[in-house]
Amino acid sequence: MFPNCLLSVADGDIVLCVHYSDELVNYVLSIKYPTLTISKSKKIRTFVDTPRNAGIFHFLLQIKGQCDFEQIRQYYADNLTDARDKAGYLRFPKLRQKLVTCWGHYAWVNDNSSFNINNHVVLSARTYRGRPVSDSNIQDFVSELATKYIPSDLPQWQVIIIPTATTASNTTNTTEAENENMTAATQTMADHYYVLVKVHHLIIAEEEDLHISEILMLQENGRKPIIDIDQYGGRRKSQALSYFVREPVHIRRLLQHIAAQIVNAWNAFIYEFESLETPDGYRPVHITNVTQLLSVLLIVSVNVCIDYWRTMQLRQKLQRRYNVQKDNYGRLRIFTMLLMKEIERRNLSWQSAWMSICTSWHPTNIVKTWTKFLWRLNINNTILLPYRIYCELMAIRELIFRGQTHLTHTHVGRISIYLPMLLYAQIEFLKICYEIFKAPVNIYEELFVKPSKEANILQLKSYSGRKIVSFSKSINAAELRQRHNFDATTCESDFILACLAGALRDYFAVHSSQAPVPQVLNTTCRTIAKGYFTENTGNKAENIGGVVFLQLPLQAPSRELVHKVHTIVEDIRRKQIMIYLASLGQTRFDLLTALLPRVLTKVCLNFFSHNFPVTITEIHGATSDFETLWGHVVEDVLLFRPPQSKTCLSLNIHRFGDRYRLAIMADTQLGPDHSQISRAFENYIETLQL
C-alpha cells in the first residue's frame, strides 16, 4: 500500500507541475504580448499544429435549391460574425480575430477592426480550367480549393459558395467574360449548388458556445424522435462501425435514474413549502412555523449556491473570451448580492423568523403537531396495514405473471426497479475494475507489440502540409443488403472495412516498385455521430467517440477477409476498452495532455503518427435529413478531417440513413493516385459477391 500512496502523490505532483508550468508560460507571454490573447487549448491537434500543416477542417455541403449568395452572406453576418449576447458583447469574437504564433504557442490578435466578412464568405468562379463547374468536375475543383491556404493575415475560416453549370441557364446571349463579371445578386440556380466550409480547429476548440451546426448553418430536417428505437434495438449495432467498444450503459442509467429522482423530490419539496410563481406573478411566502422557516432557508441556500456557480462560470467565460475583467465585484460581494436578492424576494427578516419560532412553540400548536403525528402513525401502522399488505401481494403477483408491476409505490415495486439496476451496475463496475487491472499489459501489447513493423510507401514520403481531397459517389446500403446475406459473423460493417482494405491495397500496389505492399496496415479509428453537425447545445465533444487502433489486413476483399476483420474488431472490443476510454477523456476533458509535459506529448504524438499513418473515421446517423437555416434541403454532407503530424491519409466513411460515402483527405504528395482509393471502394462495394 505504501508504494501505491507514493505513486498517487507523485502523479498529483506531476499534474500540478505541468499545470502551473503551462500557466507560467501563458502569463509570461501575456505580459510580453499585451495585444494578444494566448491560446490555452490542450487539444491533441494544438500540439502538432503548425502554420505549414494546419488543422483546417473541411466540410462540403450539396444543397438543393437556388443559390442566393447575398442571402447566404447575410445569414453568416447575422448569426455568426455580428451576433451579440444580451450584454452587447460579440458571441463569437474569434471568428473576427487573426491567429498568430509566438514562442511556439498560438495566440489571438485582440484588435479585430480590420475584419471584413467579404473576405470569408466568397463566391467561387463558375468555371474550372475553361469548363463550367458541374458534378463531373466538382471533385477536382474542391480538391484544388482545399490545397489553397487561408491567408495568414485573416481569421482562419472561410465559406466558399460554388454554383454549378446550370447557373448559366438564366443568362443567355452573354459572353463568357460578361458571365465572369456578373454580380452575386443575379446568380441563381435551378438545381443544386455546393458550399465548402474551411475552419481552423482552434476556432472550434476555443469558441465554447460555437458549434459545428452554427458554422455550417445546418439543422435537422423534420422532428427529432423523442425515443430512439435503434438505441434499444440491435439493428444499428450490427450495421454501424461505431461499436468498436461497448460503452458502460448500466452505471449511466442508474446515475441518471437517481438524478431524476432527486430532481423530482426537490421539485415536490419546493411545491409543498414554497410556490412563488402564480398566474398573477410572484406572491410573498407567509412563514407560520419553524418547519416552513427551515424549508425556505434550505431553498434559499440552494438557489444562492446555484446562482453563484452560474455567475462565476459566466465570469470565467468572459475572462477567457475577452482576456479582461468585466466587472469590479469580488466573490464575497457577488455572493452577498445573490443572498440579499433571494431574501428580499421571500420577505425574510429577523422579525418573521422570530414570529414563526414563537408560533411553533406555543403550547396549543405543540399539542396540534403531536396529535397529528400520532394520528398519522396510527393510520399508517394499523388501519392501512391490511391495504398495504394487499398492494404488496398484488405487486408480487404482477411480477410473477407479467414480469413488471405498475405499483411502484410499494416496497416490492421499488425493489423490482432498483435491484436489477444495482445488480447490473455492480457487474459492470467489476468488469471495469478488471479491465483497469489488465490495462497496462493490454495497452503495451496494442501499442507496441501488435502494430506491424512493415515499412510502406506512406512512411517513406516527405510531406508538404497542403491537402487534397477525393470522395466517392453515394452508395445505397439497402441494395447492398439485398445482394448479401449478412449474419453475426459477416456483418455489414465488417464488409465495408474489408472493401476499404481492398481499396488501400490497390493504392499500395500502384507504388509497389518503390515499397512492397504491406500485409497489415496500422490505422486509428474513431466515430462521430450526426449530432455533431446539427446540435447547437451541450458539449460539442459529446458526439465524438474515442480512438482505437486497428491493424487492417490488406488483401483482395473476400468472405475470408470479412471474417478476419470481424475477428480483429471483436479482439479490439475485448482489449482496447481502456485505450478507448482514455482517448475519450482526452477528447472531452483534455485528460492526457493535462498529465504529460508538452515536449513529451509531442514526442509521443510523432512516434504514434509515424507508426499509424492512416486514420479512419466513421460519421454515422440514423437519417440523412439536413436543412439549412435559410430553408434549403441539404442532399449530402461530407467531412474531411485533416491528417497532421506524420499522419498523411484521412479516410472518412459517411453513413447517413441507408447511404454510404467515402471522403478522403490526403497530403498533396499522395496525389493524384489518392482518388484511386475512392474509385476502388465504390467498385468493391458494388461488384463484390461474398
The pLDDT tens digits of the residues spanning 638-676 come to: 999 999 989 999 999 999 988 999 999 999 999 899 999
**What is the CATH number that goes with domain 33-210?**
3.30.559
Q: What percentage of the chain carries pLDDT values higher than 70?
A: 88
Q: What is the pLDDT of residue 308?
A: 93
pLDDT digits (tens, 9 = 90+) for 153-162: 999 999 999 9
| pLDDT-based confidence at residue 243 (cuts at 50, 70, 90) | low
DSSP strands (E only) in 250-357: 277-278, 281-282
Q: What is the pLDDT of residue 367?
A: 81
Q: What is the pLDDT of residue 284?
A: 59
| pLDDT tops 90 at residue 239 | no
**Cβ pair 201, 58 in contact under 8 A:** no
Single pTM value for the model: 0.85
Q: What is the mean pLDDT of residues 453-470?
A: 92
| pLDDT tops 60 at residue 277 | no
| pLDDT tops 60 at residue 183 | no
What the block records as the C-alpha cell of 346 is 421571500
Phi, psi dihedral angles at 65 (to 5 degrees): 135, -175
CATH 3.30.559 at 468-687, yes or no = yes
pLDDT, the chain, mean? 85
| pLDDT-based confidence at residue 274 (cuts at 50, 70, 90) | confident
Q: What percentage of the chain carries pLDDT values higher than 90?
A: 51
Q: Which of 1-5, 474-478, 540-544, 595-599 is predicted with the least confidence, judged by mean pLDDT?
A: 1-5
Check residues 519 and 344 and name the one with the higher pLDDT. 519
**Cβ pair 685, 496 in contact under 8 A:** yes
Interatomic CA distance for residues 213 and 537, integer angstroms:
10
| pLDDT tops 80 at residue 279 | no
| pLDDT tops 70 at residue 191 | yes
Q: What is the pLDDT of residue 180?
A: 44
Q: What is the pLDDT of residue 14?
A: 65
pLDDT digits (tens, 9 = 90+) for 353-377: 888 888 878 788 788 878 877 777 7
Q: What is the mean pLDDT of residues 431-453?
A: 91
pLDDT digits (tens, 9 = 90+) for 497-542: 999 999 999 999 999 999 999 999 999 999 999 999 999 888 888 8
| pLDDT-based confidence at residue 327 (cuts at 50, 70, 90) | low
| Edge-to-edge strand list for the sheet holding 157-163 | 121-123, 157-163, 192-200, 56-64, 633-640, 626-628, 218-220
| pLDDT tops 60 at residue 3 | no
Q: What is the pLDDT of residue 637?
A: 96
| DSSP code for 38 | E
What 3-state class would DSSP assign to 233?
Answer: coil
| DSSP code for 544 | B
Q: What is the pLDDT of residue 94?
A: 94
Check residues 237 and 407 and name the one with the higher pLDDT. 407
Q: What is the pLDDT of residue 172?
A: 36
Q: Which of 256-260, 399-403, 408-412, 660-664 has the highest mean pLDDT?
A: 660-664
| String of DSSP letters for 413-443 | HHHHHHHHHHHHHHHHHHHHHHHHHHHHHHH
The contacts found for 12-18 with CB under 8 angstroms, 24 or more apart, are 14/595, 15/594, 15/595, 18/594, 18/595, 18/596, 18/597
Q: Which of 174-183, 333-342, 386-395 has the highest mean pLDDT?
A: 333-342
Cα distances (Å, whole numbers) of residue 159 to 57, 127, 132, 550: 12, 18, 20, 34
| pLDDT-based confidence at residue 229 (cuts at 50, 70, 90) | very low
